Amino acid sequence: VEASATNINVMNTKKDAEKSKKDRELAHAKELAAKVREAVVVIKTKAGENGKLFGSITSKDIADKLKADHKLDVDRKKIVMHDALKTLGTTELEVKLYPEVSAKLTVKIEHE
């Protein structure tokens, strides 16, 4: 592609549009992070007397509950979990919403 005035102009327009899109995504991620920090996801499930769950809670369960209870649409892949949750109690999980934006989400697992 030749570096003519027209081509340079087109390239600058594309760069500006891309930067504008990234700025909007970053602003949306920061806004969502603030809402995620305030949210507490409460999941009621069956558990044994020792506090172990019959089954486990996955990032999909948490994302679904976050959407149902708080109307926050977070992709399950953005919820950082090393293993599924298998005991009753409160856990804080990291939610990576954008490369430089993350938030802590409180998840309470209670006996049904």
pLDDT at 72: 96
Structure confidence by residue, pLDDT tens digits, 38-76: 999 999 999 999 999 999 999 999 999 999 999 999 999
Per-residue pLDDT, averaged over 20-46, amounts to 97
SS (H, E, C) 30-92: HHHHHHHHHCEEEEEECECCCCEEEEEECHHHHHHHHHHHHCCCCCHHHEECCCCEEECEEEE
- The CATH number of whichever domain residue 78 belongs to comes to 3.10.430.100
pLDDT at 70: 96
pLDDT at 2: 82
> What is the count of structural domains for the chain?
1
pLDDT at 69: 96
pLDDT at 61: 97
Structural domain range at position 12? 5-111
